[in-house]
Structures are given as structure tokens and as C-alpha cells.
Amino acid sequence: MITAHDGAVPSYETGTSLGSFADEIRQHETHNSLARQDPRNVPREHLRLDAIIVPASRPEWNLDQAITLARATDCWLLILCSRELRSTDAKRQLAARSYQNAIVVDVPKGYSHELFHFPLLDSVRDELPPARNFYTADISIKRNIGLAIARMMQWHHIFFLDDDIRDVSRSELRSTVDMLSSFAAAGLLVTEYPDNSAVCHANRITGAPQDVFVSGAALAVDATADIGFFPDIYNEDWLFLFDYAAEKRLGNSGFNVTQLCYDPFTNPRRAAWQEFGDVLAEGLYAMLHHGLAVDQATGEYWALFLEARRNFLEAITTRAQDSALENRDQLVQSVKWALKSLQTIGPDLCERYVCSWRADLVDWTKRLTGIAAMPSIQAALARLGLEPAGPANGAVGGVPSRRADAVMAGPVVIPRFESASQIPALSFTPR
């Protein structure tokens, strides 16, 4: 998956000429051909789910879906708390649900650890678009903590679940985890409310085809595989999954789940904040549709894709200005902010970022391989400079203390709104 290097940023040489693809390079409305479906008629081994990992940032009642699934599958529940959620609140919710096989950790603001330092990506940080500083998110570091703890605890199969995801049943979770017998990672699709960036929401709303893709929001991962890391950037999960998609080791369970709805256009600057990560992810996955390797993500390629991205955004504004959409002005402003951010992104920057990411990826793999197994979760967290807040009822152990009843995760009522303007503005909190 990853080729070795001598510590320097590699200099890529273009393999196949891009000339034959130049007119076809574009932003794709769907990438689902890159995630293989699970054949339903093929018997699969039932795999043990070791842990559900929740990078939590919302109030404690948003943990109910994860608690229900952890109880139903008799696995650990690792809750990484920050922002609107504190460990005391999470523990109170666990106690109310009588679930004790949970590990609750407060992730301090600005937390860092040498294991999660990516020096080459850090070296290009100051070159990234200024809009990247509009929001501060911590979901990447929390997911990376989850990966490291999985290695230390020798967990084989883990499931990342965002705290705004609903309507995941026990049977769907088990079927998705079972796909890890054939895939390195497998996910469910977040179709309602669709898991898209602001400009992709705008693309759909203005009448163009727009799909969703497997994401980190509801994702099973083989923690024993050659795994990557989640970069500190929007669409960090797409970069994490890139090599799996390229090697046809990414699975799509075919099940759909729900995300809490929000108005993506409340703050137009959100689109600008997302733009660099959206460009990188969409551009990298567009390469896979043409069978191009990551070492062909050169300045030549990015110049072509950036022009295609500009055309994509301008087409949205043209359709929106000719429409009678209630939220037209906010939508158009969001896309204009994205265009403004796009103007600060050059082909050379995209190439340098990809080079740095690939180099740091090699070093990350070496670091992860060298992580020793730990005798307890306390020892694992101490290795990361963190402390467990403890489960709801008693001491933290190495394995669940009892087998939970097989409880089916039930439906969750999602608020409905007559129009986007009625959606509460505060429902979006960058994680």
C-alpha cells in the first residue's frame, strides 16, 4: 500500500501521460464504484466486534445509539469527549442506561502527542488557504487515538460511529463488521440527511446528480491491517480510506443510516473552510476512476482538476441564480466563499500536500508497527498522556465483564422541517 522512502518528501514522476485524460478530468457525482458491495448470497464468518469508538462532541443524549449498539454486540464502547461533552456527562448517561463496559476519556483542547505528529504535513500548514482557520476541529486526532488504542489493546475489529448518526441496527452493524473478512474497511452510507460538503449539498439542491460515499461516520475497520491515519483536514476520512479504495479493499455494506439534519448554508464561510479538503479528496478519488496511481497526482494533474472544480462551482451558482429556492441567497454566498477559497489553492500546493501526506504515512506505519501491546486500558491511555474517566459502574478491565442481552437498536425520531431556514443554526458544530 505504501512505499518506503528516506525521510524526504518524494519527488513524483508522472507515469502514464495525462494527455489522454485531460478532457475527462472532472468532479464525479458518485464514487460508489470504488467501494465494493458485499455479495448477499455468500456466507461469511461472523466476526467479533471488539469496540465501538465514538469521537463525541455533542451533549450526552447523543450517545444513546452507540450505547444501544455496544450492548447489543457485547463490545467495548470507547467515548472520546470534547467540546459540548464532558466525561462526567457521558458517565451519567452510561449509568442511566446501566452500561458499564465503556471507556470514557476527556480529550483536552489542543491535545497532542508525539505519536500523532506528522512533520511533513506540519511543514506545509502555513501554506494552506487562510479559510482553513475559520473553524477548529478535533475529530481527526480523536479517530487517530482510537486507532492507536486499538493496536495497544490488540483489538482486531473496531467500528467508528459519529455521535450524530442514527438508525443503525444490530444486524446491519454485524453484517458490516463481517465484511472485514474480505475488506480492510467497510462502511454504511449516510443518506438521510446526506453526508456531503456544503457545495455538494448545493449541487444536489440545484438539480444536479450528487451521491454520498462511505465515510468515517459509520465505518468498520480491521485494526490489524496496514492502516493509515486521519489527517487534520476536512474529508480526513476520505484520505484515510484512499488506499483501500485504490486496492479494492474498501467495502460498502449497502445499508443506509441517518445523520442529524442541519442547515449547511447558515454560515457561508463553512464552505470556504471545507474547500481545500474537498478539492484534495475529490481530486484524488477522481484519479481512481481513470486508473491513475497516487504518484500521478502532480502539478499537471492538479491544474486540470482545479479548473474542473472551478467549472463545477460556477455551474452551481448559475443554476441557483436561475432558481426560486427559498435559501438561494445563502446557498449562492456559500458557493462564492468556496470559489474565493479555491482561488488561493494552486497546483503546486496540492502536489506538495499529497507528497507530504504520503511521506508521513510511511512514518506513521512504522510508528504504529512499533507500538507495544498494553496490559490494560489504563496503561494504553497513559502511553498517550490521557486518563480514563472510568465506566459508569466500576473498574476498567481488559474485556467486557458480562455478555449483554441481544437488544435490537431501534429507530430514532429525527426532527423534520418545512424548509432549511427552520433548521436551528447551532445544529452544526465542527468536530
pLDDT tens column, 245-274: 999 999 999 999 999 999 999 999 999 999
Per-residue pLDDT tens digits for 166-215: 999 999 999 999 999 999 999 999 999 999 999 999 999 999 999 999 99
Beta strands in 260-324 (DSSP E): none
CA distances from 221 to 104, 272, 291, 407 (A): 21, 30, 24, 23
In a domain, 14, yes or no: no
In a domain, 3, yes or no: no
Write down the pLDDT at residue 236. 98
Distance CA 86, CA 228 (A): 28
Distance CA 81, CA 78 (A): 10
Write down the pLDDT at residue 428. 40
Q: Which residues contact 39 (CB under 8 A, 6 or more apart)?
A: none
In a domain, 167, yes or no: yes
Longest CA pairwise span in the chain (Å): 64
Mean pLDDT over 378-387 rounds to 96
CA distances from 26 to 271, 284, 310 (A): 19, 11, 10
In a domain, 22, yes or no: no
In a domain, 428, yes or no: no
The CATH number covering residue 49 comes to 3.90.550.10
Confidence of residue 323 (pLDDT cuts 50, 70, 90): confident
In sign, the C-alpha dihedral spanning 198, 229, 73, 79 is negative
Whether residue 318 has pLDDT greater than 80: yes
In a domain, 229, yes or no: yes
Per-residue pLDDT tens digits for 360-372: 999 999 999 999 9
Could you tell me if 71 and 48 are in contact, meaning their C-beta atoms sit under 8 angstroms apart?
A: no
Distance CA 405, CA 424 (A): 37
Per-residue pLDDT tens digits for 77-130: 999 999 999 999 999 999 999 999 999 999 999 999 999 999 999 999 999 999
Distance CA 122, CA 174 (A): 38
Q: Higher pLDDT residue, 401 or 20?
A: 20
Q: Which residue range is the domain that position 70 belongs to?
A: 35-417
**Count of structural domains within the chain:** 1
Could you tell me if 230 and 140 are in contact, meaning their C-beta atoms sit under 8 angstroms apart?
A: yes
In a domain, 6, yes or no: no
- Kindly state the cell numbers that stand for 184: 480492510
Whether residue 217 has pLDDT greater than 60: yes
Per-residue pLDDT tens digits for 324-359: 888 899 999 999 999 999 999 999 999 999 999 999
Whether residue 275 has pLDDT greater than 70: yes
Confidence of residue 417 (pLDDT cuts 50, 70, 90): very low
- Kindly state the cell numbers that stand for 46: 461472523
In a domain, 12, yes or no: no
**0.85 surpassed by pTM:** yes
Give the gyration radius of the chain's Cα atoms. 21
Phi/psi at 314 (5° precision): -65, -35
Per-residue DSSP letter, 126: G
Distance CA 206, CA 210 (A): 10
